[in-house]
A and B are shown apart, each in its own frame.
Chain A
């Protein structure tokens, strides 16, 4: 009798404690666009990954300081004596939302799915030869050659449940070209801290806390995710108290929000640099009045442009202080960045004019600058500023402004003389930048080397980075490559973008360099 009574009291106590312990903290989170799909391997896109990180988990995690930390893998290292093999030790006691245990089989299945032909994640796993489960909690990834930085490629590759995927016929990534619809596009089963409770694409999604998650219970127990496309409406929703956390805060609104009671704006560096690049091959420019040679091939011209640009003015006027002017096309947390490389000269128009005259263009020349107008923060305005700076040294620039969907094909198809591009470095290593922007355009290299710069010596150095296991040698090569790029002024770096998050009340969200804040790590002060 008394035992039953005790048990009931205990149960009652426990239940009331549960109620207070899990006092629902809902965060209404608005950003400018929705996740594209729930299928974690179908799209390689930031917003989609960010949303997925709350439901699914990766083997390794990217921290807000840019470093890697354990997530579903607790340890990783190359195998003794076999630099081509990465060994991942998996976390014990992890379960999926449907109760299935998480094992090495799921990792093998997911990595194979992510590198399958229909997956947009496959380029990150291009060097993988095979994935093998050694035992329940150990996975070996065999690479085609030594790949010292492979774990960096895993921060957005999510682990799915093999059994669930087989049951629901989603072992393959959706083939939308064939007009197929897919269960995984609309349903989820991850190991992440939240369960998808409700989803209406473009309208709202609701996530509730997953009680069975392996980590400590998060402060935020419910997330309502609200895509609001229009900048003014998104900010209005924050001001009126309808949302608690706003991403993609327009720079012109930061000051106003900072001065509003109850609203905090946190800014931090984004992993994205804005730069301009030139056509560098032998053919004359298409859009110039100089028709016999390519003036951008002349290092003096590039030096003159470098000196004519007032990066501080761009930061002050165009970006309203919300950018970090830079002399190199990678942000500080990327391997290979140094303070010396980052330095940029004071603007010197007189010297720039002299250089132009020395180069044989005392009266300058004309050229068309291609710029996107809906991709980066104030992209078109930055290009307009550049037009003015170059006008001062005689280079008459015609601005051709297009939406990114029309701008980026110009670069990949080599149809531009002079263009703006923003570049993020998801691997946090300079090699990523070199591979796509600097290496000659051939094979899988140089996809965005729209200026067709080509230097066999540099190419060989870049290729060596992919397989060099001695990190000191590798870093020396990176430094040497940067030396050449900077000395030749191959590109014109402007600044690194800054991200701003605005929150209401006592919500504290740290700025993530890849713009992927995790709400289960958010703190709520009293």
Chain B
């Protein structure tokens, strides 16, 4: 067990280093950070001096080594754009993203599972057909358009919900400002959460539907039916339980991508999370923030996969035998 975890940890470190290296290679082509840091009348020698001071003239491997050694100590430097420590910036913005992601996952899970069951059980009804066709629209429309559309309908025309921002926030811990405890905070969550969850929602719905249809064809369901069990018990106790195993796996894995792909939703709704911080940083080539964000996202994925692997290991005895034989 310990050997397995240690080996997976070592692999994770390699993955993180690879991400850092690729990120660093890309940064050389995104543009000159100095260009967006200075006014139009800055003398060329002053720009050269800044480049020198920031270490942008150093050879690639020196810059990379400096970055890695600092990053290991949790130091990602100072943002070129906002001139604040990057680690602090990311931790300031993280609660907003996590809250949005959490609400989106819950929305996607509950509505997705509910609609999935409905469309599986009543698969010939008009309602199910309508939901299935609407879900096609949901996956094919870009997030950006959905967000702008929701803003137009619910903020501009109906004026029910705010079009941007996070509303009032409350400090619930030294490192956490939450929007969950104010009315404006909750109202601000609705549109971005729907926008962000829509894709996952349709994914889960379709997954639940097909799994459910699959399970309903199984022999044990037919036997249950033959035994005269009530339809309700068959559908929800026997069928649904077996349907949910893959759904939980997928949802766990999707949580990472929700955090990572919140970028578009956050931009459209001016949601002050790490995604919009990343976009603002890309525009002005704020390398320290971009690097830290990419490392952070990589870390999220690595951690999720690590946990999933360990859980599988615990759950599935075949892996344990394989590991022992391999060792």
Contacts and interface: CB of A to CB of B under 8 A. Distances in A.
Q: Nearest 9 pairs between A and B by C-beta?
A: A405-B31, A44-B39, A177-B53, A406-B31, A203-B272, A176-B78, A408-B35, A409-B32, A236-B163
A405 B284 contact: yes
B146 to A, nearest CB: 13
Nearest to B82: A201
B293 interface: no
A177 B54 contact: yes
Given A36-B82, A181-B84, A447-B44, A404 B166 contact: no
B83 interface: yes
Interface in A21-74: 33-34, 36-37, 39, 42-45
Nearest to B151: A236
Contact of B41 (A33, A44, A202, A406): A44
Interface string A364-402: 000000000010000000000000000000000000001
Interface of A: 33-34, 36-37, 39, 42-45, 117, 120, 122-124, 126, 174-182, 185-186, 200-204, 226-230, 232-234, 236-237, 239-242, 374, 402-406, 408-409, 412, 423-424, 426, 432, 436, 444, 447-448
B250 to A, nearest CB: 30
B231 interface: no
A179 B35 CA distance: 20
B276 interface: yes
Contacts of B235: none
16 contacts: A43-B37, A120-B38, A123-B43, A175-B53, A176-B83, A181-B85, A202-B280, A233-B151, A234-B164, A236-B163, A242-B162, A404-B31, A405-B31, A408-B32, A444-B44, A447-B42
B35 A405 contact: yes
Nearest to B75: A179
Contact of B77 (A33, A36, A37, A179): A179
A240 B44 contact: no
Contacts of A177: 50, 53-55
Given A185-B84, A200-B272, A444 B45 contact: yes
Contact of B36 (A230, A237, A405): A405
B23 interface: no
B183 to A, nearest CB: 15
Contacts of A412: 35, 44, 47
B170 to A, nearest CB: 14
Contacts of A426: 41
A374 to B, nearest CB: 7
B153 to A, nearest CB: 11
Contacts of A203: 165-166, 272
Nearest to A424: B40
B145 to A, nearest CB: 10
B294 interface: no
Nearest to B78: A176
A501 B280 CA distance: 23
Nearest to A153: B41
A37 B41 contact: no
B42 A120 contact: yes
Interface string B135-174: 0000000000000100110011001001111100000000
B276 A229 contact: yes
Contacts of B280: 33, 202, 229
Contacts of A242: 155, 162-164
B252 interface: no
B283 interface: yes
Contacts of A229: 267, 270, 276, 279-280
A227 B44 CA distance: 30
What band does the interface of chain B fall in when counting residues whose beta carbon is under 8 Å from A?
35 or more
Nearest to A435: B41
A236 B41 contact: no
Contact of A36 (B81, B166, B267): B81
Nearest to A45: B39
Given A123-B42, A242-B163, A233 B54 contact: no
A233 B164 contact: yes
Nearest to B53: A177
Interface string B11-38: 0000000000000000000111101111
B269 interface: yes
A374 B163 CA distance: 24
Contacts of B302: none
A330 to B, nearest CB: 14
B268 interface: yes
A283 to B, nearest CB: 20
B165 A226 contact: yes
A124 B50 CA distance: 17
Interface in B79-111: 80-85, 89, 92
A236 B155 contact: yes
A124 B36 contact: no
Contact of A240 (B50, B78, B155, B268): B155
A474 B89 CA distance: 50
B222 to A, nearest CB: 53
A228 B270 contact: yes
Interface in B232-276: 267-270, 272, 276
B293 to A, nearest CB: 14
Contacts of B189: none
A45 B269 CA distance: 26
B38 A179 contact: no
B219 interface: no
Contacts of A404: 31, 35-36
A203 B36 CA distance: 20
B283 A403 contact: yes
Nearest to A126: B43
A204 B35 CA distance: 26
